[in-house]
Amino acid sequence: MKLVAGNSNRPLANAIAAYLKTPLTECLVRRFSDMEIFVEVRENVRGEDIFVIQSTSYPANDNLMELLILTDALRRASARRITAVIPYFGYARQDRKTLPRTPISAKLVANLITHAGADRVLTVDLHAGQIQGFFDIPTDNLYAAPVMVRDITKRYTDGNITVVSPDVGGVVRARSLASRIDAPLAIIDKRRDRPGESEVMNVIGNVTGRHCILIDDIIDSGGTLCNAAHALIEKGACSVAAYATHGVFSGGAVARIQASKIDTLVITDTIVPTEAVRVASNIEVLSLSALIGEAILRTSGEESVSSLFD
């Protein structure tokens, strides 16, 4: 087994390598003057089981091209099997036609990764589970929920918790986590007039006097979570925390969250935290290196990955 890392999330790649006690394969990824990407794998990988660790986060197109070119280089170097480990799968929110004459970009990206030469894909908390079906190769979708549950149970010991989905689309995710900690579920009914903007309409469920925990997969502008937190406090919640897997944080999202009613926002390291995130007083980061590392180990050993979440 060998680990190869692109430039999108070196800290996470190093942490995964440390967990597996396997050094990263020496690999050069650089740009020509016109920003073309050049890759050189400087170790023999013939017949090896290769895991390429690369999130397709900002800058999404550059990081996606790095992944594709790394995969092609490894395939041409006669690697036995190539698994694309994509902690954050970019373009996942474009998983359907929302308007006439619009693309399904998630499917296009899946095709690109497959045709580049990947044999498997391993990712974390896809925005929509059905994206697994966009790939014509085996795809494992890991869940950050076990890591979040451990953190929640350490913080809240009185059991006075309500798990809240910030929108109807996230109910399955929130219900799954609520069942793990034996907590009731509430739902925010909202209306989104345009991308990046949302208006809270109603809170479904009893949140009065409860510690509310908002669960989401992606934080982009932060508007959804901030509006939800404000609505929960107005409905009598005694505190609001939030957990999300992928911290995209576009625009003024970090400042918006710091000024909101959210006491603590906990994200994971699938995307490298920016300096603004690292110094934010109410944002904390959990590492998924052990979870991803264990999934890599089980994949390499042809063992069950799904049993990680039983």
Active site residues: 190
Asked if residue 62 belongs to a known ligand binding site, the reply is no
Is 220 known to sit in a ligand binding site? Answer: yes
197 is in an annotated binding site: no
Secondary structure class of 297 (helix, strand, coil): helix
Q: For residue 151, give both structure tokens.
A: 């953190």
- The reply, when asked if residue 132 is annotated as ligand binding, is no
Q: 151 has which bridge partners? A: none
Q: Are 20 and 296 spatial neighbours (Cβ–Cβ below 8 Å)?
A: yes
36 CB burial (10 A radius; 0-12, 13-18, 19+):
exposed
57 is in an annotated binding site: no
Q: Does residue 222 have a known ligand-binding role?
A: yes
Query: How far apart, in whole angstroms, are the C-alpha atoms of residue 212 and residue 185?
Result: 9
My answer on whether omega of the bond before 59 falls inside 30° of 0, hence cis, is: yes
- CA 195 – CA 191 distance, rounded (Å): 11
Tell me if 246 is assigned to a ligand binding site: no
169 is in an annotated binding site: no
Tell me the C-alpha distance between 240 and 262, whole Å: 5
What are the C-alpha distances in Å from 269 to residues 8, 12, 88? 11, 7, 9
User: What residues form DSSP beta bridges with 163?
Assistant: 185, 213
CA pseudo-torsion sign 89, 18, 142, 51: positive
- Residue 15: what are its φ and ψ, rounded to 5°? -65, -40
> Is 258 annotated for ligand binding?
no
Residues 120, 123, 126: CA angle, nearest 5 degrees: 125
Q: How far is residue 109 from each of residues 89, 91, 101, 103, 119, measured CA to CA in Å? A: 9, 7, 18, 11, 15
Question: Would you say 217 is a known binding-site residue?
Answer: no
| Residue 127 annotated as lining a ligand binding site | yes
Does 310 count as an annotated binding residue?
no
Annotated binding site for ATP: 34-36, 93-94
Q: Per the annotation, where are the binding residues?
A: 34-36, 93-94, 127, 167, 192, 216, 220-224
Annotated binding site for Mg(2+): 127, 167
> Per the annotation, where are the binding residues for D-ribose 5-phosphate?
192, 216, 220-224
